[in-house]
Structure 1
């Protein structure tokens, strides 16, 4: 393949330790001309689903390149390290469900390999820091144009670990969807495609699908379509249904977390 000078990094490493800098350093030693984009290093620790969502919703807007992602509670176990080729770029990381949604966003996996070639890895691979010793050196070599097939043996893309599909149920009066993510502003993204809002009226109710009273909300385009401190249900920048508070935090008002269910009804 041709030289790909861009590498993106998405991790749960945080910003108070040297983990991110070590990965940058490994990349710089191997591929000093590569340009690195830090997507985020503040994925909640070990939250693979959140990391997968951030990665999938971001990679379509990044330069074509190598996207390294590490949210890896199974580091050092039998879980595989993998690299995936797609029409829109390469992905490197653990085989734990973190990468497939991003691969789909880039056109789908065309080739997958397991990262087993010792010459591509650090001389000594730590049992607990594969970001530095496995994924960063592989990403750097791929950025220099090394053939993907040299990183290890091919694997069937159908055998990649995938996260369970989120809960989504719709009926004539609305829908119930799993909370997918909560962003920095407290906006609550649901695993519900935008079209589910089409048949619903302007006045909505939002709440858990149980006996707890639902809260009034408005259907809008943006936050200001709700009154101050009011709930608004809208289509977010990822074309998914989300709930926000105009001037507040929907996650605090609704008291939900990723994995919880919310019902939106007319």
Structure 2
């Protein structure tokens, strides 16, 4: 039976890039089902792509092929790779995009560099490896072709990994790096929800390099804060997220991925309001 292919990119939806890759897969593997994860990763944002991929693959069909292309180094010396894990295969650039997802699927058991011309397009564009390298490989893997035929084995220990995001416990809370901001303006930070669990019902939030302190409810869901107010909660990925009931936390906090956010206990009588300075 053919495997499902998931597809994650920063290609956007205004050009034909996604369709071209779908077309390559359909030509080589016409019975394979493709699940589009997203094509709206911010251009070149490898961290965002890696985070979305890692948080999504555990919920996709087991044993699938996960094609991901966020590739600002396309055409350079960076490697194209395929990775085997207990939960499926991953295909894409060796720039840190794939490793978190590989860990979520049980860890890399084998890896190859994509160098066999027979697995690639007849002519490979220097700027569109998604179409000419990664999509053909994903299609062939989805039909059961052995990964070892795609190119020479490489040491999984040599794969490029993104730096670990900053997470530091403090006596009264924690400091954590902003990982992502979703479509709704919710701010996800790198801290595990376990760090939030012992904190009281009122919290202070301060973005890095500012004196601006916001007050948030420690809640379970958005409605635990008053309308327009902030709530800190465990999100669906088991991480700490900041949301606004009826609004956008990213706008209220003025943060972006990579920035640090300090979270600590606030006095019990502090009232969470969106307008608080």
TMscore range, shorter length: over 0.9
CA distance in structure 1 between the aligned counterparts of 2:17 and 2:212, rounded to whole angstroms: 45
Specify the alignment match of 1:5 in structure 2. 3
Specify the alignment match of 1:173 in structure 2. 172
TM-score by length of 2: 0.94
CA distance in structure 2 between the aligned counterparts of 1:264 and 1:208, rounded to whole angstroms: 9
Specify the alignment match of 1:115 in structure 2. 114
Query: How big is the shift at 1:169?
Result: 1.1
Specify the alignment match of 1:163 in structure 2. 162
Give the aligned CA root-mean-square deviation in angstroms.
0.8
Query: How big is the shift at 1:209?
Result: 4.2
Residues 202 and 80 of structure 1: is their aligned pair in 2 closer, same or farther, counting only changes over 3 Å?
A: same
The runs of 5 or more residues in structure 2 that have no matched partner are 266-277
CA distance in structure 1 between the aligned counterparts of 2:136 and 2:212, rounded to whole angstroms: 53
SS in 2 for 1:60: helix
Specify the alignment match of 1:212 in structure 2. 211
Specify the alignment match of 1:59 in structure 2. 57
Specify the alignment match of 1:70 in structure 2. 69
CA distance in structure 2 between the aligned counterparts of 1:94 and 1:114, rounded to whole angstroms: 10
| Alpha carbons 1:4, 1:66 under 8 Å: kept | no
Residues 176 and 144 of structure 1: is their aligned pair in 2 closer, same or farther, counting only changes over 3 Å?
A: same
2:28 to 21, 27, 30: 30
2:38 to 37, 40, 56: 40
CA distance in structure 2 between the aligned counterparts of 1:119 and 1:211, rounded to whole angstroms: 55
Query: How big is the shift at 1:198?
Result: 2.0
Stretch of structure 1 that moved more, 198-207 or 111-120: 198-207
1:55-108 Cα deviation digits (max 9, x unpaired): 000000001210000000000000000000000000000000000000000000
1:67-146 correspondence runs (5 A): 67-146=66-145
CA distance in structure 2 between the aligned counterparts of 1:129 and 1:211, rounded to whole angstroms: 41
Q: Is residue 2:154 matched to residue 1:152?
A: no
CA distance in structure 1 between the aligned counterparts of 2:252 and 2:5, rounded to whole angstroms: 38
Query: How big is the shift at 1:199?
Result: 1.9
Specify the alignment match of 2:17 in structure 1. 19
Number of residues paired by the alignment? 264
Query: How big is the shift at 1:161?
Result: 0.1
CA distance in structure 2 between the aligned counterparts of 1:162 and 1:138, rounded to whole angstroms: 22
SS in 2 for 1:234: strand
| Alpha carbons 1:176, 1:209 under 8 Å: kept | no
- Runs of 4+ residues over 2 Å off in structure 1: none
CA distance in structure 2 between the aligned counterparts of 1:211 and 1:117, rounded to whole angstroms: 52
Query: How big is the shift at 1:4?
Result: 3.5
CA distance in structure 1 between the aligned counterparts of 2:84 and 2:168, rounded to whole angstroms: 33
Stretch of structure 1 that moved more, 256-265 or 204-213: 204-213
Query: How big is the shift at 1:170?
Result: 1.0
